[in-house]
Structures are given as C-alpha cells and as structure tokens.
Amino acid sequence: MKKLPPEPRRRPSQSRSKVLVDAIIQACKQVLADEGEERLTTNRIAEVAGVTIGSLYQYFPNKEAILANLLSEEFAAASDQVCREVTPRVAAQIGISLRATIHELIHVTAELHLRYLRLHGSFYREYHDFFDFHGKVNKHMTEVFHQPSWQDWLPDLLKKYKSEIIVSDLDQAAFISANIIEGLISTALKDRPEWLESEVYLDNIETAVMNFLQGCNGE
C-alpha cells in the first residue's frame, strides 16, 4: 500500500489566500535549493515567505504537506520536459541492440528518481510511490505526445529482437523485465539511494534483465 503524505488543512478559495499559499510553496522550494533539506522547517519557510507561522498553519499542518504540494506542482511542470529529453535517448538505442536499449531505459529510470531525490531527499524516498512520477511521465507521453508508454512499447521491442530471446511469451517477458527494472530501482531508492548513482548497480540490473531474456550466456 502506498504511504500517503499529509494533506493541506484547507485549500485557498480567494485570490489573496491563493497568493499566500503560493508564497509558502515557493519559499519551501527556495529553502531547499539555497539551504538544503536540513534547514527546512515551517518557521524557516514562513520567514522566507514573509508570512506569520500562524498563517502557514492555517493551510498546512507541517512541512511535509507543503512538500507534497511542491512536488505535485513540479511533476506537472516537468513532465513535458522529461518526455522531450527521454524519448530520443531511448529511441536512438532501439536500432543498435536490445542490450543498448535496456541499458538506456535503466539509466533513464534511475535519473528520473535522482532528479527529485537530490532536491527532496528523505521526503521523496518516503513518498515516491504515492507521487509515481514515472507513471505521470508515461501518462503524459501517451496523452500529450501520442506516443506509447515504455510499458506499451517494450513488448514491441522484444518482438523486434525475438530471435535473441529465450522466453516464448513476449508479453510476459516485457512485464517481468519492466518489474525487474522498476522494482530494483524503487527498492534502492528507498533503502540504498546512493546505488542509483552506481554504474555497478545499474549494470547489475541490466545483467539481471538480459539473463532473464537471453539466458546466462546472453551478450
């Protein structure tokens, strides 16, 4: 079950209150960027926002609720940029080899998480399943760019390299491969986040996928 982050006490309904809430969220972003996660407190956010702590608590019960709003806004704004960055990188590898495509897919997935892990640290580690940024990017890819999500095109990729794959059911092969990648990256994000920057760890994920698809002698 996904762990849910704290919710706001209430939503702003008037223009003045919307300006106040936006100032709080932007102050949270500024403190994170300039001072780091360890300096992020409700008092510091209120100070940077230029509002009283009482005004802040009218809308947010704690800093986690502010972070949740900030992340939601960032994910919505970043989806388009990420799609434009990721699509050509993965597409460029499809004609080279199956391994090259899997390699790029693993690195892209790790980088998506690292982007927010570096900004939001322990909060992102704790609640990343709830925000599901990877899923939001896939949804944006299909709805805005009218391109298949990577779960949708992975079976087609395996069909292209069918002669190299020992698993007979390619839909199952795609499902299992996707879950190997997502599962090992998600687990590392929660328990060993430093591994997401480790080429050794990412190469081991690649080896696990390729050994499943091609057997232990897969190149």
Residue 200's SS3 state is helix
142-149, long-range: CB < 8 A, 24+ apart: 144/79, 144/80, 144/83, 145/83, 145/87, 147/83, 147/87
Q: What pLDDT band is residue 217 in, cutting at 50, 70 and 90?
A: low
Domain boundaries, the chain: 15-214
Query: Over the stretch 37-86, which tens digit does the pLDDT of each residue have?
Result: 889 999 999 999 999 999 999 999 999 999 988 888 877 777 777 777 88
Distances (CA, A) of 39 to 31, 43, 135, 162: 7, 10, 30, 52
Mean pLDDT (the chain, rounded): 87
pLDDT of 25 over the 70 cut: yes
- The total of other beta-carbon atoms located within 10 Å of residue 171's CB is 12
Residue 79's SS3 state is helix
Distance (Å, whole) CA 124 – CA 118: 9
Q: Into which CATH architecture does domain 15-214 fall?
A: Orthogonal Bundle (1.10)
pLDDT of 134 over the 80 cut: no
